[in-house]
Structure 1
């Protein structure tokens, strides 16, 4: 029972120590660095150093048999860590880390135990360098390096990876690229006209994600040797955001981004309602990232602006989308408009045709009337009288009788009142009054 209580107590102490943190150490890029750790000396000593990753990466282990334990050591730290064994008996469990790299930055745990005591301390390692340079993917970038001018100049640029890749060398007054790593061939150059002024800066073209990391510039002359450390960061900002609506979803996407981006949705005007979204990230062969997210829309809210924001640690871009109408409603509206338009066109056509027919008939009636109306005379008391013929074609004036029979079918006679009377007769007969 007591053992269990002590175990729980030690666990709580460890958690408390880890939560508060004990120290922060700044380490120069490419140099050696000491991570401090103290304990109370005792028998059966064990020392364990871990880097606090999700899997607790083992950095160095030492057991009471006075031997380092390398069995579970992470390869990234192989040959780069050591303890001060002559100081262990005095309670010094500090760790020396050589060839510091950017990847070494983070939190470390030093755990010591003896027969009588257990101790855990936590420290944070910060990596510092002479310069930090941000280079855009696909562009040219200059890595700075200065030195004191002198004779017999030698310049070596090295990428500080596990293989210490040869980057660019200059000596005997010319570039020496025989051992240059093939990844950099044709992409590096020095400013040779500036060397006499102490400028050993290097230009790198066509920047790639693989170029990211620490670099060391080594310079030497007859009188002086120098080192300059640069931490190079590569970035590819989101250039364009594509947005589209598919049924009840809005899709936001962007391609060719580095480092891995974040995507978030927001609404204008702000709303307390939550919306379901799904985000997917893909890595390309160039180690860039494509990101896409779909947001499921609500049927109840139409007048909203949906804002998609894509961001990296150094860049941010956003785009907005106003939701369209329900496609089924839109189809119905379009069909309704088309139907109404067709009816209106048909009515206009019918009215115009009817008006043209009416005008044509009126013209025909007017023409017939003008051809058949004849003012035949004026009465003594009643004014003008108009005699309408029955499709006569013409009105014939009376001719003087020469004593022969009347041949016209119709004759006009003057009545006693002074008017005209139309008399119809039979050919060869006499006119009837």
Structure 2
């Protein structure tokens, strides 16, 4: 098996019922393993240990037998475990900034950022999207139109913060930030609570008063 992009790196080689380590790229040394029993059953899966961000990319697997030769290309994405930021308390009608820290490399050109709001039922709401060096808001949910802003000047410091303007009570909930820099993928979750919604007394049926939150 080898890496597909750029100068091909030899990841692992198996020939004559044994592993061949000669020529294996040093970045994969002591981190790869084939299962001989699986090979006899028609499965040449490779186990890669201690995955690193640099392992992300396309891999090519070549299998040659007496009957035929076959190949398969596999794409590997390396994800960082989702982090939970401290909860945010926002005031209705004011602006709030949601932080999204990530580890950035020297090249920020392929940086992609997506902010979503998690919904209990149905699909998540797209809050903001940034792709290929610009905002891409064609699929932004209508409730966030004209109220969101990213700060590209903060990207080199490893922060994809989102500013949400004129906060509404409906903005309360769980927000998820996905960042795809040159290496790795990062995910941050933030719980937002909205205060200052106010309450007023309304008359319920049969004369029982109840409290209702104002919008």
TM-score, L = length of structure 1: 0.30
1:84-233 to structure 2, matched below 5 A, reads 157-221=1-65, 223-233=66-76
Are 1:282 and 2:152 matched, yes or no? no
CA distance in 2, matches of 1:188, 1:173: 16
Q: Deviations along 1:373-407, whole A, 9 cap, x unmatched? A: xxxxxxxxxxxxxxxxxxxxxxxxxxxxxxxxxxx
> Which residue number in structure 2 is paired with residue 319 of structure 1?
191
Are 1:310 and 2:174 matched, yes or no? no
Offset of residue 278 of structure 1:
3.8
Alignment gaps of 5+ in structure 2: 105-110, 118-126, 128-141, 181-186, 198-215
Offset of residue 318 of structure 1:
6.3
Q: Residues 228 and 273 of structure 1: is their aligned pair in 2 closer, same or farther, counting only changes over 3 Å? A: closer
Greater relative contact order: 1 or 2 (C-alpha under 8 angstroms, separation 6 or more)? 2
1:351-362 to structure 2, matched below 5 A, reads none
> Which residue number in structure 2 is paired with residue 250 of structure 1?
96
Task: Mark the structure with the bigger radius of gyration.
Answer: 1
Aligned residues: 158
Q: Deviations along 1:89-143, whole A, 9 cap, x unmatched? A: xxxxxxxxxxxxxxxxxxxxxxxxxxxxxxxxxxxxxxxxxxxxxxxxxxxxxxx
Q: Residues 283 and 226 of structure 1: is their aligned pair in 2 closer, same or farther, counting only changes over 3 Å? A: farther
Q: Is the 8 A contact 1:243 1:253 kept in 2?
A: no
Q: Is the 8 A contact 2:98 2:190 kept in 1?
A: no
Aligned partner of 1:261 among 105, 113, 136: 113
Q: Residues 218 and 321 of structure 1: is their aligned pair in 2 closer, same or farther, counting only changes over 3 Å? A: same
Offset of residue 191 of structure 1:
0.8
Alignment gaps of 5+ in structure 1: 1-156, 326-433
CA distance in 2, matches of 1:310, 1:194: 39
1:1-12 to structure 2, matched below 5 A, reads none
CA distance in 1, matches of 2:145, 2:42: 62
Offset of residue 165 of structure 1:
0.8
CA distance in 2, matches of 1:282, 1:241: 18
Offset of residue 234 of structure 1:
0.5
CA distance in 1, matches of 2:39, 2:146: 61
Aligned partner of 2:163 among 278, 294, 316: 294
CA distance in 2, matches of 1:318, 1:244: 7
Offset of residue 167 of structure 1:
0.8
1:394-433 to structure 2, matched below 5 A, reads none
CA distance in 2, matches of 1:271, 1:215: 41
Q: Deviations along 1:197-229, whole A, 9 cap, x unmatched? A: 2221111123333323322222224x2342221
Q: Residues 242 and 291 of structure 1: is their aligned pair in 2 closer, same or farther, counting only changes over 3 Å? A: farther
1:19-58 to structure 2, matched below 5 A, reads none
Aligned partner of 2:77 among 231, 234, 248: 234
TM-score, L = length of structure 2: 0.54
Q: Deviations along 1:144-174, whole A, 9 cap, x unmatched? A: xxxxxxxxxxxxx111122111110112432
Q: Residues 257 and 323 of structure 1: is their aligned pair in 2 closer, same or farther, counting only changes over 3 Å? A: farther
CA distance in 1, matches of 2:33, 2:150: 45
Q: Residues 253 and 242 of structure 1: is their aligned pair in 2 closer, same or farther, counting only changes over 3 Å? A: farther
Q: Deviations along 1:30-72, whole A, 9 cap, x unmatched? A: xxxxxxxxxxxxxxxxxxxxxxxxxxxxxxxxxxxxxxxxxxx
